[in-house]
Structure 1
Amino acid sequence: MLIVLFLTLFCSVVFRTAYCDVAIVAPEPNSVYDLSGTSQAVVKVKWMHTDNTPQEKDFVRYTFTLCSGTNAMIEAMATLQTLSASDLTDNEFNAIIENTVGTDGVYFIQVFAQTAIGYTIHYTNRFKLKGMIGTKAANPSMITIAPEAQTRITTGDVGATIDSKSFTVPYNLQTGVVKYAPMQLQPATKVTAKTWKRKYATSEVTYYYTLRNSVDQHTTVTPGWSYIITADSNYATPAPMPADNGGWYNPRKRLSLTARKVNALRHR
């Protein structure tokens, strides 16, 4: 039972751009939780807020939902809890997951964070639950990337969303306090290039000798993948140790010279 909240909230408001960043510091991602000896488990989720806006006081409600499935086919397994922001202390949440919500498999948590003018939806890293006795099937595959986050912040009757064209502007030509990176691509199966060159021959650096009261950039937004990478366990029988299959050798057989005590030779 895990709630691995990896919650990075980006909030954009018409006529006034605002940014928020919630960093999850506990529990650890890619964990395995065994419920064989108990019917439930309590997992402490801890996060921290930055000084950017909307600030911590701007969030009014959090809803945590246990999910399974692929990024394209997310299935809600159980609603864990809905809490007012005032019910949370020290940016911590003790989540309880019952062993009856589904079968053994891979799960993740949807985090719905609500403000007075909108909401954000984020998803945690995936984790495994063992010892489950439910009948609702959970996805068995540990897909490597969490589902894409969604943001909807409104001002009056006007909604503010991220313009997808922002991701096409070269990074070094962007001047706003929020920059947009291109979608991450996977490497090709073969290297065909014969030569290489620097994409950016030079870069800038500014040294400050006193504390600065403002920043040039608040955050970088990266779009989610438009493709899906699936992964699974390696079901092959473990190979024997090298010594068991003749692959091991004594390193002494590779020596062509005999070791000598140099100090002893010098004293002769």
Structure 2
Amino acid sequence: MLRLLTIHTLLLAHVSLVSADVKFIAPAAGASIVGGTAFTVAWAETGDAPALADLSSYTLFLFSGSNTAPTQLYQLSASTFAAAGKSVSVTVPVNTGGVGTNAYFLGMLSVATAGGTVWNYSNRFTLTGMTGTFDPTVAAAVKAVSGSTGPPSVNKVAQDADPIGTSVGEGAWATPYNMQIGNTKYAPMQPVPPTTITATNLEPLWPTSAVRFASTFLPLPSQVTTLTQANTYSISSRANTAIPASSPVDEMERYLNRWKD
């Protein structure tokens, strides 16, 4: 079973909780879904800021636990809003978690084009036929569940907006990873390897940074996700039409051939 990661506890305690951008319309509150089978997740725009047009990508997770301390169990899908539209088909492996009425709900992490994130949660539903187990803390929270309402949304678009440039492309992508703060980190575009090596004086892409080894257990990281800058280049491929080489002949092969019938 995947290791359960409890997140957002501090966010739910310290961040303004508001309704924003996305609301789930499927699965319905209190629905019963057979684990291990595909089902449709659908959402609609609420009319509150930020608009879907201002969001670039999303990641959809399966959660359990309490509304005040959601526990992430499994990543279901990740895409852009332009590509996905307003629905996606997902499947939850049966060993992801345990059994319990209204034990599960969905969480969508949306990333704004100008920086910042929004968490939206679905109503609770039941997954039947599950063969996994819950962490003791999650199991206790599931037993205490009453009703089918999920956690409130967490809108951090304003708080996490890129302070360096007017857009993510101008600021966050170019900021060294170890100097970034906030719940979302940004990785630069992956470079394309050249066909030949021509450099004679190799320089690192980023300056070196100091290292301190931990002498005690470190706290859980506060970062929720890392986004890699989208590629601006395209790649084409074609079939290899070269004739395959014949099998090599060695001493062992000649020896074995002696004993063939």
Give the TM-score category using the shorter length.
0.3 to 0.5
Q: Which of the pair is proportionally richer in helix?
A: 2
Q: Which of the pair is proportionally richer in strand?
A: 1
Rg comparison, structure with higher value: 1
TM-score by length of structure 2 reads 0.46
TM-score by length of structure 1 reads 0.44
